[in-house]
Structure 1
Amino acid sequence: MQSSLLHYSILIIEDNLGDFVLIEDYLHEFLPSSEIYQAPTFSKAKEMLASKDIIYDVILLDLSLPDHSGKKLIEEAIEASGNNTPIIILTGYSSLDFAIESLTIGVADYLLKDELTPIALRKSVLYTIERHKILLNLKESEQRYADLFHFSPQPMWVFDVETLAFLNVNEAAIRHYGYSYDEFLSMTIKDIRPPEDIPLLQAVLTRNKTTHRSFFQAEFRHQKKNGEIIIVDLKSTFIIYRGRAAKLILAHDITANKKYLEEIEHQNQKLREIAWVQSHVVRAPLARLLGLTQFLNEEDLSPQEYKQYLKELHNSASELDIIVKDIVKKTHELKLTK
């Protein structure tokens, strides 16, 4: 977009009317639709900034005012702006050391009045405003990341891919694992693994580094501060964190789910045993019962033989009763808990 079409609100803190008019003329050359405001003293500037009636896009600050000057003026101007409005210094004071110090304090640019031209002012103002917008967007993006990170109900952390040291952890991780924030930052990701699982961790890290995978998901065993072993579904992705290559981790404790599935599998095994009993063990006494009753109906037996067959019927029925009771007992033992 052409600068002549841009509309900004610019505050010039300058007590010298001649300098103000010159700066105003320069600004109007490339920002004709912008609004220019003057504060001849710092107290007036504070009043204008505090009113919030106008949101200024940039402040042009002279370092020698009737009621304030120098480094203290810069610091208080930054404070008065809420540290939200970029400040460009316009001064006749040509000390390089002071210029560097001013930039360190937090000003966006440092321009000498004797060397000021419309082009130099144009570049400084436009670059400063656009750079400030980018920084604000970046800050908002970082804040959104921080909110998602710290307010996540699931444990999350960031670790250095080279040293494996924890760089940041959220509140959920602190609560779930039992370590304090400072304790986490003094540890590496090895410290939350059972000792016997360290070789597996090293193998996974080496494989991921070799394949250059940015996203990874797997199940691992972790160890809490109290020694409890848990199983976690771990998801990781590569990020740059404060200038360092790092991994962002989301850990979901699936120990209870795993236990529940194991119980279901155990119960399924019991059901299979019951089914086998029904299809095999029950069949033997039942087959004898059927055979004996058929034999009694069809054969002409003596009283002694009849008595003997009745005894066999009773024994087979008793055996079947014991088997049925055992099936009922095993069935009652199948209780799912979660």
Structure 2
Amino acid sequence: MIKDKSTYSILIIEDNPGDLYIFQEYLRDQILNPNIISATNFKEAAEVLLDGTQKLDIIFLDLSLPDKKGIALIHEIVKIGKKRPIVVLTGYADIQFSIDSLHLGVSDYLIKDELTALTLYKSVRYNIERGKYLLQLEQSEKRYIDLFHLSPQPMWIYDLDTLMFLDVNDAATAHYGYSYEEFLTMNIRDIRPKEEVVDFMKILKENPVDKEGKFKGFFKHQKKDGTVIEVEITSNLISRIGKTVRISLANDVTERLNYIKAIVDQNEKLREIAWIQSHVVRAPLARLMGLIKILDCDEDVPVKDKHFVYTELLKSADELDEIIRGISEKASKIEINNTTYDFGDTTSR
């Protein structure tokens, strides 16, 4: 038989010498060189668990110790166990108690009379790997929480079924004006203008997300003071406390859109000025040029005709002056905003 050559440090908390011997033999039957540490009561177990030099991978716990037992014992071992996997060993097949102990933080529940070397070894492997995964998940969630709350842009998490806010960051409370407590009594419909809610729910129901659950779109939101803003929402599905929820990041693009609208309006005015210059100005200018040619010709021009030409020259000059003043007035009303914006890559929008 090939034994597991991995190094496992195992604490067995058991006051019955016969049971302790069986557990040790079972472990040695499957593991080449296990490091087994034993404790016969809670006091001894606490000394081992509180010893910073002890590196333990898993704890096996009998629930009937001389100095502590049952639920109270589980509470204490979980508290000082430093998140190591704890497997309860008991002689009673109490299903309800096993469920309750799992809720208290126990990783597994084994009946002594049904135990074999293989089932004990499987429990060691499964619960150690599960413990590593849960630790990695906890560390990952902590990093996510730090990024979430430190983000300079508003972010929130909401329930997919009720649409209620489950969490919001400081940037969201500052930008929207609601307190954290107020947000947690609201759902994502409450931050939208009333006239936008029906369309929003339709988009929420019908708009597809990609394979990874990502979604991106533009919406109108309403702050606590009634101010309506334009936002670009980017959201994704995440797992939180064993449930799939949606996390959203809101980018307020109101100022950006207003700036773009101002640029469009300015362009319209500039196009109007360009049209005036190319069409309206040309008419009096063409008349002026024609009249000057008449005066410039060698032939004598009757006085009566000269008077007419001069009159028309003055009229054309006045008309041209009026047009130029109109252009100047329109141009003076165009205010160029020198603020610069980093719009980023808009090709995917």
TM-score (norm 1): 0.83
Secondary structure of the structure 2 residue equivalent to 1:198: helix
Q: Which runs of 5+ in 2 are unaligned?
A: 340-349
**CA shift at 1:228, angstroms?**
0.8
Given residue 73 of structure 1, which amino acid in structure 2 is its aligned partner? L
Which position in structure 1 is the counterpart of 2:129? 130
Q: For the residues of structure 2 that align with 1:210 and 1:111, how far apart are their CA atoms?
A: 44
Alignment of 1:136-175 (within 5 A): 136-175=135-174
- The C-alpha deviation readout for 1:61-81, integer Å capped at 9, x for no partner, is 344556544433322222112
Which position in structure 2 is the counterpart of 1:230? 229
Which position in structure 2 is the counterpart of 1:27? 27
User: How many residue pairs end up in the alignment?
Assistant: 336
**Cα distance change, pair 211–172 in 1 and its aligned pair in 2 (3 A):** closer
**Cα distance change, pair 245–38 in 1 and its aligned pair in 2 (3 A):** closer
Given residue 294 of structure 1, which amino acid in structure 2 is its aligned partner? K
**Cα distance change, pair 136–245 in 1 and its aligned pair in 2 (3 A):** closer
CA RMSD of aligned residues (A): 3.4
Structure richer in helix, relative to its length: 1
Q: For the residues of structure 1 that align with 2:313 and 2:95, how far apart are their CA atoms?
A: 114
**Cα distance change, pair 186–209 in 1 and its aligned pair in 2 (3 A):** farther
**Cα distance change, pair 46–227 in 1 and its aligned pair in 2 (3 A):** same
**CA shift at 1:284, angstroms?**
1.7
Alignment of 1:122-271 (within 5 A): 122-208=121-207, 214-238=213-237, 246-271=245-270
**CA shift at 1:286, angstroms?**
1.2
Alignment of 1:1-338 (within 5 A): 4-14=4-14, 19-65=19-65, 68-82=68-82, 84-91=83-90, 99-113=98-112, 116-208=115-207, 214-238=213-237, 246-298=245-297, 299-301=299-301, 306=306, 309-337=309-337, 338=339
Secondary structure of the structure 2 residue equivalent to 1:227: coil
Given residue 274 of structure 1, which amino acid in structure 2 is its aligned partner? I
Q: For the residues of structure 1 that align with 2:19 and 2:199, how far apart are their CA atoms?
A: 70
Larger deviation: 121-130 or 288-297?
121-130
Whether the 8 Å contact between 2:3 and 2:29 is mirrored in structure 1 is no
**Cα distance change, pair 157–210 in 1 and its aligned pair in 2 (3 A):** closer
Q: For the residues of structure 1 that align with 2:180 and 2:234, how far apart are their CA atoms?
A: 21
TM-score (norm 2): 0.80
Q: For the residues of structure 1 that align with 2:305 and 2:208, how far apart are their CA atoms?
A: 84
**Cα distance change, pair 282–195 in 1 and its aligned pair in 2 (3 A):** same
**CA shift at 1:193, angstroms?**
2.0
Larger deviation: 145-154 or 28-37?
145-154
Q: Which runs of 5+ in 1 are unaligned?
A: none
Identity of aligned residues (%): 47
**Cα distance change, pair 169–94 in 1 and its aligned pair in 2 (3 A):** same
